[in-house]
Structure 1
Amino acid sequence: MSDHSEDKLFTQERQQAILTYVETHKKATVAELCQLFKVSTGTIRNDLREMEKLKLVTRTHGGVLIRSKTGLEMMATEKEVRNHDAKVVVARRALEQIEDGDTLLLDTGSTTLELAKLLSERKGLSVITNDLQIAIILEDMPGVVNLFIIGGAVRQKLHCVIPFNRDSGLSELIIDKAFMGANGFTLKNGATTPDVRQANLKKEMIACASNVILLIDSHKVGHDTFAKFAEVSDISILITDTISEEDRAGIEARGVMVISE
């Protein structure tokens, strides 16, 4: 990775941490952010300018206020309940893309969790996941002959794991199909998630997969969250419950197959 890329990554991580701090305290001054992150006033002001452009915060004289929920992430139990019927529809369509003997990667998420529940309908599967609930469901499933869980730190109340460092070991693997979740998806910014660490892991997942299949319910189309993890062109198939003809045409024009009602 180049020095420029490293600097950009560190900037994203700091901005994610700033957002978390402001969400917790509702506001912050430039001075306290400088002290907290051990950087200059100019660096913090640049961060806040970029974050305001993303509509994450509102800058004030000498400080910042929380503005939107773009950087917030619902707990796993909230995700499972929200738009549950749509997630089941998407999961059933996703199952149609799986053949006996496939090697799969299941990203964490409420829709991929619904897909995991259906895998008993296939045989001879090998599955890699970073989702604890998915791993528990698949542990004794007859059709799953190999099950691997990515190691690291548990994100409490989100039931998933983030590697301790930037090498998850995924680069050594060859995956037939990666089923990815997202918190937002737009033609401009692709697939996004609120957490930078999660985005970095998702990028590694995508890099080792022959086919990337994005599973999102229609409420996430047209919305961005904090950290991008995939361009539209990185995705092989997008599966959703419903989608407008305009959005479908735009996505398909980028070479992505769209499966929906």
Structure 2
Amino acid sequence: MITEKRFEVIINLLKEKEFLTLQELIKMTGCSASTIRRDLSKLQQQGILQRVHGGATLKTTSLNEPKLSEKQGRNTQEKREIAKIAAAKVEDNDCIYIDAGSSTYEMVEYITADNIVVVTNGLTHVEPLLKKGFKTIIVGGDVKANTLASVGSKAIETIKRYHFDKVFIGMNGVDLEKGLTTPDEQEAYVKETAMKSGAQIYVLIDSSKFAHTYFADVQIPQNKHALLLTSEKALQRQDIKAYRNRFVIEGGQS
């Protein structure tokens, strides 16, 4: 099999399955281990895939972001699992920030702490927060039509005025090389500003977000640590050890 054909076969196999081990690729292509290792190295250099411990995963970069209503219907069970873990972090008398997004929306239902103050840039979060009797502050700014999130300079300036015990951030992608990413640069700035104002940072991310890269980086502030909250399904990924080497992860039975 010529090199170009092997590349095509490897890429198509990875499109069908998000992660393949070296042994799986050898078996599926009928090529030697040395050949597959060489092909994976070349494809990684081209930015097409990412080699991880024991295998490879296809890299994706996207500017597109679905509407919030579409995201709320995806991976619902996982998001609720993660939401319960996140909600349990909230303690009585906390002042917290809850980011816009479908996963963070789910956590509101499970918060049982008393006398908390919640700041949010998620318009959809306001009603359920008020129904639970929480003091709620909505961040002003430009509202994105697809995510119903407040963004822009006004949102950032408002968030800078506060200090949070805990910050809960939604994220579109997490990648071993690129880190945390989101499609919109304005939302990335809002997330980073909130994290800078938080004593403890939690990032809610379900299994579908792993090994995905979006347009804008979201940098964890210097001298701060973020805990990734995820699902049991995500912890079953074959490459989860590599992610644990890069990020602090909690979820499922961990």
Aligned match for 1:130, one of 112, 121, 135: 121
Per-residue deviation, 1:232: 9.8
On the 8 A contact 1:186/1:222 being kept in 2, the answer is yes
> Does the aligned pair in 1 maintain the 2:220–2:226 contact within 8 Å?
no
Q: Structure 1 residues 176 and 54, CA, compared in 2 at 3 Å: closer, same or farther?
A: farther
- Structure 1's 254 and 181: CA in aligned 2 closer, same or farther, altered over 3 A? same
Going from structure 1 to structure 2, the CA distance change for 1:54 and 1:174 (only over 3 Å counts) comes to farther
Query: CA 1:93–1:199 in structure 2 vs 1: closer, same or farther (change >3 Å)?
Result: same
Contact kept? 2:227, 2:247, Cα under 8 Å: no
Q: Would you say the 8 A contact 1:100–1:122 is kept in 2? A: yes
Q: Number of residue pairs matched?
A: 194
Residue 96 of structure 1 aligns with an amino acid whose one-letter code is A
Q: Distance in 1 between matches of 2:169 and 2:177?
A: 19
* C-alpha deviation, 1:135, in angstroms: 1.0
Counterpart in the other structure of 2:92: 100
Shift of 1:172: 2.5
Percent identity (aligned): 27
CA-CA distance at 1:247 after TM superposition? 4.6
1:193-233, Cα deviation, whole Å (9 max, x unpaired): 00011111111011100111010111101111110112498
Counterpart contact for 1:248–1:258, Cα < 8 Å: no
Whole-angstrom distance in 1 between the partners of 2:240 and 2:252: 9
Q: Could you say what secondary structure the match of 2:180 adopts?
A: strand
C-alpha distance in structure 2 between counterparts of 1:258 and 1:232, whole Å: 20
1:239 corresponding residue in structure 2? 229
1:253 deviation in Å?
A: 3.5
Structure 1 match to 2:42: none
The Cα of 1:251 is off from its aligned counterpart by: 4.0
Which consecutive residues of structure 1, in runs of 5 or more, have no partner in the other structure? 1-52, 56-67
* Amino acid in the other structure paired with 2:96: L
Partner of 2:83: 91
CA contact (8 A) 1:185 1:191 kept: yes
- Which structure exhibits the higher relative contact order, with contacts defined as CA atoms closer than 8 Å and separated by 6 or more residues? 2
With the length of structure 2 as denominator, give the TM-score of the two structures. Answer: 0.69
Q: CA, structure 1 residues 215+125, in 2 after alignment: closer, same or farther (shift >3 Å)? A: same
User: How far apart in 1 are the matches of 2:84 and 2:210?
Assistant: 19
- Between the aligned partners of 2:247 and 2:208, the Cα distance in structure 1 is 22
1:114 to 97, 100, 106: 106
Distance 1:187 1:148 in 2: 35
Deviation at 1:77, TM superposition (A): 0.4
Check conservation: 1:251, 1:258, Cα contact below 8 A: no
Instruction: Give the Cα–Cα distance (whole angstroms) in 1 for the partners of residues 213 and 220 of structure 2.
Output: 12
Correspondent of 2:137 among 148, 154, 173 = 148
Tell me the secondary structure at the aligned position of residue 150 of structure 2. strand
Of the candidates 163, 168, 171, which is equivalent to residue 157 of structure 2? 168
The more displaced of 195-204 and 93-102 is: 93-102
SS of the counterpart of 2:81? helix
Q: Secondary structure at the match of 2:177?
A: coil
Residue in structure 2 matched with residue 31 of structure 1 by the alignment: none
For 2:241 and 2:110, the matched residues in 1 are separated by 30
Q: Offset of 1:260 from its aligned partner?
A: 2.8
Q: Give me the whole-angstrom Cα distance separating, in 2, the residues matched to 1:232 and 1:221.
A: 21
Compared CA separation, residues 255 and 183, structure 1 to 2 (3 A): closer
**SS of match in other structure, 2:137:** strand
Query: Which of the residues 172, 177, 188 maps onto 2:177?
Result: 188
